[in-house]
Structures are given as C-alpha cells and as structure tokens.
Amino acid sequence: MAYSDKVLDHYNNPRNVGSLDKSQPNVGTGIVGAPECGDVMKLQVQVNEQTGIIEEAKFKTFGCGSAIASSSLATEWLKGKTVDEALAIKNTEIVNELSLPPVKIHCSVLAEDAIKAAINDYKQKAGTKAPETTAQKA
Amino acid sequence: MKLPIYMDNHATTPLDPRVLDAMMPYLTNQFGNAASRNHSFGWEAEEAVENARKQIAKLVGATAREVIFTSGATESNNLALKGVAEMYAERGNHIITAATEHKATLDTTKRLEKHGCRITYLPVQQDGLVDLDMLRESITGKTVLVSIMYANNEIGVLQPIREIGKICRERGVLLHTDATQAVGKVPVNVNDDNIDIMSMSAHKMYGPKGVGALYVRRKNPRVQLTSQMDGGGHERGMRSGTLNVPGIVGLGKACELCGAEMAEESKRLRALRDKLRAKLEAELDELYINGTMEHRLPNNLNISFAYVEGESLLMGINDVAVSSGSACTSATLEPSYVLKALGAGDDIAHSSIRFGIGRFNTEEEVDYVAQKVTQVVKKLRELSPLYEMVKEGIDLSKVQWTTH
C-alpha cells in the first residue's frame, strides 16, 4: 500500500512524542484501543486552567503508520485550541488532511476517540463532564 | 550492496539465471506442443518435458511417471484434495488436516465440507507442530486422506511427516503433503517419508511462476485421483491442458540445482539466519520466536517484536522486503491465523515479522537488515505506550482496554 506524503512525514518525524505527568490536575489522559486489535493510542493534554486553552499535547501510539500519523496530527491540532474546540475535531478532518484510504479510517476514529477521552479525563478532574464520544464510525 | 533488499523468499524466489538459460530455447525456437506426436517440434518439447519429470523425480525419490504437472501448488493442492475426495467417496468422506495449513488447502477443504465431506482441523501445539496422538485418535473408518504440510510458509516449522506417514500407512489412509516450502530446501523423499501425494511449486525454489507439480504414488499403494479439469486427458488423465513446456523445463532445472546445492546452501542460509537472530537478540529485548527452532527450514525466521506493530515496522524498513502477520498487512484485516493457532495471542501476531533468506542474499545484506530493524524497533518502542507501560511495571493483561 502506498502512503500519502503527509502520513510518511508524520511517521518519519512524529510531532509531540512523549508523556505528561498524568497525576497533575490540569493534565488529561486518554488511552484507547487494545493490543490484540493492533492499535493503542495514548494522548495527553495539558490545559491552562485560567484560559481553558490546551498548552501542551503529547502522544504515544502502538499501531500502523496511519495510526501514528493520525495521533501525531491530533497533537498538532490540539495545541492552542480551547477544550471545547478540541472536542469539535472530527475524524473526517483527519482522514482528509492525511488522505487516509478507506481501510485506514478506523485510525482516524481512534484518534478522535483519544482526543475525547483525554479531554473527558481533564474535565472530570476539573469537575465538569464532557459529552460522550461521537466519532463517526467508518 | 543494492537496495532494496529482498528477504521474503517464502513468498516467492527470484529466478535463478541458470534456470532462465535452460528455459530460453523453449520460449523461443523450440516452441512445440509436447502432445504433438508427428513432428520434430513436438518430439523436442516432449523430450524436454520428460527430462524435467526425471529431474523432479530424482530430487524427491520418486519415479518420473509419478510426476503430474500443474500450474502451481494451489492447483496441486486442489487436485489432491478434491481428486481424492471424489475418487474415494465410496470408501469414506473424512479428511484430516491442520489449522496452520496454507489457504490453498483450507479453502479447498471448506468447499469439500459444503459437498458433504467431514473435515477435522487438527490444532497445533505451541511449537507449531501437530500432535501425533491427536492425529491417531482422529482417524476413523471413514477417513480417506490426511493432508499436512511439510514446512509452514509463515513460521517454517517442519511437521513430522515421516511419522505422520507411518501412522497413515498403519491405518490404510492416504497422506498428502503440501511440500511447497520444503522441496529443494530440505531433503524430502517420498518413500522414506511415506508420502502418497505431494504438492510442489517452481517459484519457491528459484524457478518460474505458474508451474508446479503433484507427485502421485503409483505403487504401494497405487493412488488414483479424479481429474478436476476436462480436456485432452494429458498427464495420465489427471490434468488436462497443454503442457507449459518452458515452465516445466524451468521447474526441472530448478530441482536439479537444488539437489546439487542443497547441502551447501542450507548450511550457508542457516548460518545467515542464525546470525540475523543473534544480532537482533543482542540489541533488543522482548523478542519472541514464533514456532520451534529445532524443526525448521534453515532460511526462516519469524519473530515478534513485542509492543511494536508489524505494519509500522515494515514502513520503517522500507528498503527491506519482508512480511508481517499483522492484520494491517493482510487483505482480510485479520492477524495471521497461523500465529493465532500457536496460542500466543493476537498482539504477538500483530508484532510479527517473517524473514525468508534466500540463495541470493549476502552476509552484508543480513548485517544491514539486522541494523535497520534494530534501529526502527527502538524508535517505534520510544513511540509505544505499551512498551512504556511495561517498563513502568504495568501488567498489560490486567489493563481494561477499550476494544473497538
């Protein structure tokens, strides 16, 4: 299978790889997927509690190149967004940006799920609950 | 050293230039139909075919008349299974095979099930081998055929065919073996190994694609097959169709070369394979070898790099051609059923890489591949949340995953 240039770029130079201290009150952590399914994404956001803006985002992903690229892209998009703006990110935008083929759409769904899981975790810590995952399943 | 490096020799092998040389006259001036009985073009072609038949027979300890030409191992497996099921239908309808067989066998037995056959799929043990006691217990008065592959195409394990054959003889059941990966790589002898029917393919042993053979025993016992294709009654009535003369000449030459060079070549390939394994194990932790190393093709290495997904690893080593049991690399999006049958868990299948070292690989290439794989696995483990969790002392089997 041929990969798009953008997938290759994120795979070769993944952005924001790493981990944030999940015990911090302003850090939200989302872990989605399962090893037996072949992909697990961990996505973390660090939120400025005054402004509600995501200051830092980190990821680690076990999965194919498209899964790595989807989560890498997600961290790029998250930085500088408010928590509510982050929740509005749709998997279809990831599909379009990375030109993912149909068999890789589930990678983008997983990335959207990871964003929602991380934000939910943060909101839970902050005392407010975000809406449930609404990712469009391919 | 030239890039990319081809190290996927279980998928197919490059054509040996000596094989091409042997084929060339039959692709050009000597184009006759081997079935033409009344002119020199036909005689030449027939002579070439009969010579190839002898070369193949010699490699596997058969007689030339027991070799039937086909289009490849898939057709050979189809003909063996369907041909026996149909010919021996009055005697019984039960066939025994194994869970790790090639799809050319499993899809064929699935079809036979629809036509009233009963199929037993033997599980394999953790080392990839079938349990002989289980085989013995599975044979019934209705069993007409046991079909077990000689060497597995993914993990390279060698089934105890000789012992399986002995059991089949004792019970009066025919033994078919898909020896596509074994013939030309390890010594195979249809008499010593008690084999009645055997599938072979040219392109796995440095011959051309599109040609294979089926060994069909003529004596003790005499095996009969119902043909699956109607036509001119070629190949003792078992396989109609004009013979692929250049392909057959190539298969014959490939067999001759394998026979002459096997001892030396297998020693060389084993050394390269063991070096590759040693280099990877020296640099990386948490590697799992899939299938027994003790009974295995000398050129096969199937390793799972835990916490790294196979397709992403292939992406990183894009100047090296190998394959993975990962779901993402399969057409079905399912991880390898062969690795799953070993009982190691889907995550091990997702992380697996199959290396198939071949005649034209060099030590320099093996060094390069080892270094490249090491580098990419290290990079991907830096990226892997699973590797991080394990290093933190978390037991992954106890984590509540959100399966999707």
Q: Is residue A131 part of a domain?
A: no
Q: Distance (Å, rounded) from C-alpha B324 to C-alpha B332? A: 13
Which of A32, A62, A110 lies nearest to residue B309, judging by beta carbons? Answer: A62
Q: Is residue A93 part of a domain?
A: yes
- Amino acid at the residue B307: Y
Please list the ranges in chain B whose pLDDT falls under 50: none
A64 is catalytic: no
The pLDDT, as a whole number, for residue B345 is 84
**What mean pLDDT is reported for chain A?**
91
Cis check: omega of the bond before B4, within 30 degrees of 0: yes
Confidence band for A1, pLDDT divided at 50, 70 and 90: low
Q: Is residue A112 part of a domain?
A: yes
The pLDDT, as a whole number, for residue B334 is 82
CATH of the domain at A107: 3.90.1010.10
Minimum CA–CA partner of B345 in chain A: A36
Distance of alpha carbon A110 from the chain centroid: 8
The pLDDT, as a whole number, for residue B328 is 74
The pLDDT, as a whole number, for residue A63 is 95
Cβ <8 Å between A11 and B316: yes
pLDDT for B222-264, tens place per residue? 999 999 999 999 999 999 999 999 999 999 999 999 999 999 9
Helix and strand totals (H; E) in chain B: 12, 13
Structural domain count, chain A: 1
Q: Distance (Å, rounded) from C-alpha A58 to C-alpha A16? A: 5
Q: Is residue A137 part of a domain?
A: no
Which of B311, B386, B387 lies nearest to residue A64, judging by beta carbons? Answer: B311
**E strand residue ranges, B9-82:** 67-70
pLDDT for A9-44, tens place per residue? 999 999 999 999 999 999 999 999 999 889 999 999
Cβ <8 Å between B326 and A110: no
Q: Is residue A117 part of a domain?
A: yes
Element spanning B320, H or E: strand B320-321
Residue A129 has pLDDT above 60, yes or no: no
The secondary structure of A26-91 as a DSSP string is TEEEEEEEEGGGTEEEEEEEEEETTTTEEEEEEEEEES-HHHHHHHHHHHHHHTT-BHHHHHT--H
Q: Is residue A78 part of a domain?
A: yes
Q: Which tokens is B98 given?
A: 């194994």
Length of chain B: 404
Residues of A with CB below 8 A from B385's CB?
A: 31, 40-42, 60-62
Range of A46's domain?
Answer: 5-126
Which of B238, B245, B200 is CA-nearest to residue B50? B245
Cβ <8 Å between B346 and A38: yes
Interface test with A, best of B304, B305, B309 (most A CBs within 10 A): B309
Confidence band for A137, pLDDT divided at 50, 70 and 90: very low
Q: Distance (Å, rounded) from C-alpha B105 to C-alpha B337? A: 14
CA angle B186, B191, B194 (to 5 degrees): 90
Tokens 């309808």 locate to B93
Give A81→chain B minimum CA distance, Å.
24
Counting Cβ atoms within 10 Å, is residue B379 exposed (0-12), middle (13-18) or buried (19+)? middle
Cβ <8 Å between B401 and A39: no
Cβ <8 Å between A40 and B385: yes
* Residue A134 zone, left/alpha/beta (φ > 0; ψ -120 to 50; rest): alpha
End-to-end CA distance of chain B: 44
Minimum CA–CA partner of B387 in chain A: A62
Structural domains of chain B, with CATH: 5-10+261-398 (3.90.1150.10), 17-258 (3.40.640.10)
The pLDDT, as a whole number, for residue A133 is 54
Q: Beta A39-48 vs B94-98: how paired, if at all?
A: unpaired
Q: Is residue A10 part of a domain?
A: yes
Q: Is residue A27 part of a domain?
A: yes
The pLDDT, as a whole number, for residue B404 is 60
Chain A residues interacting with chain B (CB cutoff of 8 angstroms): 3, 11, 14, 17, 19, 31-42, 60-65, 67-68, 103, 106, 109-110, 113
The pLDDT, as a whole number, for residue A138 is 42
Show Cβ contacts of residue B54 under 8 Å, excluding neighbours closer than 6 positions.
B64, B252
